[in-house]
Structure 1
Amino acid sequence: MPKIVDHDERRLELVDATWRIIARLGIEGATMREIALEAGFANGALKPYFPTKDTLLTFAFRHVFNRTNERIREVTAGKAGITALRAFCVEVLPLDSERVNEARIVVPFWQKAINDPEKAAIHRESMDQWRGAIQGYLTEARRQGDVNAAVDDSVVSGHLLNMLLGAQIAAALAPGIETDLGLGDQLEAFLTLLQAGS
């Protein structure tokens, strides 16, 4: 009887292998052959799942975004305002080796998105979702009296989102799997300034 293959599980195995290869060799070293070898598959076995490296990178980006959102849902459950905002940001920031590896997937995706309207649309939709979440937390924080900053929430949410995305770049460019980039302290400084007028 032929073995039943779980295609979703196989795709995730390939994404995990891609992360490991990019962490070790960078995006240029992450050839389909290297990824297949890392995952323990024959080179041709990738084609049914990802016809090209480009389709694999797009899937990997979506997977990083979805995985981050799952973590966010877990850590913000039952929280509101500044507490929820802090928890959200901590899950996006590359504060450990897993999230640094995620950043190393995201940054090459952005590079491709510059000249690829489809990828650019995926990025915009993802960031619109995050910006909306940040604004929601800020609205709650103002309602609770924790934020009285004179700056409009749409500007603050854009500023914070750009800080989080910049942290992805800093982590991706850090030597090795360095995770102590002071990002947690920078986040706390931002939140302190946000609450300074309270």
Structure 2
Amino acid sequence: MPKIVDHDERRLELVDATWRIIARQGLEGATMREIAMEAGFANGALKPYFPTKDTLLEFAFGHVFNRTNQRIADVTRGKSGLPALRAFCREVLPLDEERINEARIVIPFWQKAVNDPQKADIHQQSMSEWLATIRRYLAEARDSGDVRAAVDDSVLAGQLLNMLLGAQIAAALGNGTPNPGLEEQLEGFLALL
């Protein structure tokens, strides 16, 4: 009797293998052959799931974004305003090895998105979603009196998102250890509100 394969599970195994390789060797080291070996599969086993390295990278970006959003949903449940905004930011900031590795996946995706309109659109949709969430938390915090800054919430949301994305870049280019100063920077930004 043939073995039943869970295709979703197989895709996630391949994405996890991709993360490990990119974290160790960078995007160039993440060849389809290396990914297959890392996941314990034959090289040809990737083709039905990801015909090209680009499709794998696109899926990996979506997976990182979805995982981050799930963590955000978990930590913001029952919160609003400034506590929800703080929790949101802490899940995006590269504060541990897992989130640093996620940044190492996202940055090669951004590099590809510079010249690929489809990937650029995926990124733009993702960031639009995050900006809307940040603006919602800022509006809640403003309504409760926790935010009194004279700067418009849309500008504040853009500044905060740029800070979060910049932290991802710095972490991916750093030595791989979390920067404890990121939480202080976040608290400093929130205090200015």
TM-score range, shorter chain: over 0.9
CA contact (8 A) 1:22 1:30 kept: yes
Partner of 1:27: 27
Counterpart position of 2:148: 148
Structure 1 segment 76-115 matched on structure 2, within 5 A: 76-115=76-115
RMSD over aligned Cα, in angstroms? 0.6
Aligned residues: 193
Contact 1:131–1:161 (8 Å) recurs in 2? yes
**CA distance in structure 1 between the aligned counterparts of 2:31 and 2:149, rounded to whole angstroms:** 48
Following superposition, the deviation at residue 193 of structure 1 comes to 1.0
Structure 1 stretches lacking a partner, 5+ long: none
Give 1:182 shift. Answer: 1.6
Separation in structure 2 between the aligned mates of residue 155 and residue 187 of structure 1, nearest angstrom: 16
Give the corresponding residue for 2:169.
169
Distance in 1 of aligned mates of 2:182 and 2:119: 27
The 3-state SS of whatever aligns with 1:57 is: helix
Consecutive aligned runs of 4 or more in structure 1 exceeding 6 Å deviation: none
Paired letter, 1:189: G
Q: 1:137-173, CA deviations, whole angstroms, 9 ceiling, x for partnerless residues?
A: 0000000000110000000000000111111100110
Task: Check conservation: 1:171, 1:181, Cα contact below 8 A.
Answer: no
Deviation, structure 1 residue 71: 0.3
Q: TM-score, normalised to structure 2's length?
A: 0.99
Residue type of the alignment partner of 1:58: E
Q: Which runs of 5+ in 2 are unaligned?
A: none
Give the whole-Å Cα distance in 2 for the aligned partners of 1:182 and 1:64. Answer: 23
Residue correspondence of structure 1 range 56-75 to structure 2 within 5 A: 56-75=56-75
1:182 counterpart residue number: 181
Equivalent residues of 2:171, 2:179 under 8 A apart: no
1:180 deviates by 2.0
Task: State how far apart, in whole Å, the 2-side matches of 1:147 and 1:172 are.
Answer: 31
1:112-151 equivalent positions in 2, closer than 5 A: 112-151=112-151
Structure 1 residue 183 displacement after superposition? 1.1
